[in-house]
Amino acid sequence: MTAVSVPGTSAPPRLEPLRRFARGFAAQPGGVTGLAVLAVVTALALAAPLFIHPADLNVVDATGPSLAPPSAKYWLGTDQPGRSVLLLVIWGARSSLAIGVIATACTIVIGSAIGLLAGHFGGIAGRVLMAVTDWFIALPALPLAIALAAVLGQGDTSITIAIAVTSWTATARIVRAQTLAVEARPFVERAHALGAGHRQVMLRQVLPNVAPLILVSSTLTVASAILTETTLAFLGLGNPTDVSWGAMINQAVGQGAVTRGAWWYLLPPGVAILIVVLGFTLTGRAIEAVLNPRSGAQS
Where do the domains of the chain lie, and which CATH numbers do they carry?
Answer: 29-44+83-292 (1.10.3720.10)
| Residue 13: predicted pLDDT | 60
Q: Which whole number is the average pLDDT over 16-43?
A: 91
pLDDT at 1: 44
Phi, psi at 78, each rounded to 5°: -130, 165
The fraction of the chain above a pLDDT of 90, given in percent, is 49
Please tell me whether residue 2 adopts helix, strand or coil conformation: coil
Note the helical H segments in the chain.
16-26, 29-51, 54-57, 85-121, 123-138, 141-152, 156-167, 169-183, 186-193, 198-200, 207-234, 245-254, 263-291, 293-298
Mean pLDDT for 51-72 is: 84
* pTM of structure: 0.85
Residue 122: is its pLDDT beyond 70? yes
So what's the pLDDT on residue 294? 61
Identity at 41, one-letter amino acid code: V
Which are the contacts of 298, defined by CB distance < 8 A and separation ≥ 6? none
Dihedral, CA of residue 96, residue 283, residue 45 and residue 165, to nearest 10? 20
pLDDT number for residue 216? 87
pLDDT in tens, 187-225: 877 877 777 777 888 888 888 888 888 988 898 899 999
Question: What angle, 0 to 180 degrees and rounded to 10, lies between the N-to-C axes of helices 156-167 and 207-234?
Answer: 130
Once rounded to an integer, what is the mean pLDDT over residues 245-249?
A: 92
Q: Residue 299 contacts by C-beta under 8 Å, 6 or more apart in sequence?
A: 285, 289
Give CA angle at 99 (264, 256), nearest 5°.
25
Rounded Cα distance, 79 and 267, in Å = 12
The residue with greater pLDDT, 138 or 297, is 138
For 128, other C-beta atoms within 10 Å of its C-beta total 11
- Asked if residue 55 has pLDDT above 70, the reply is yes
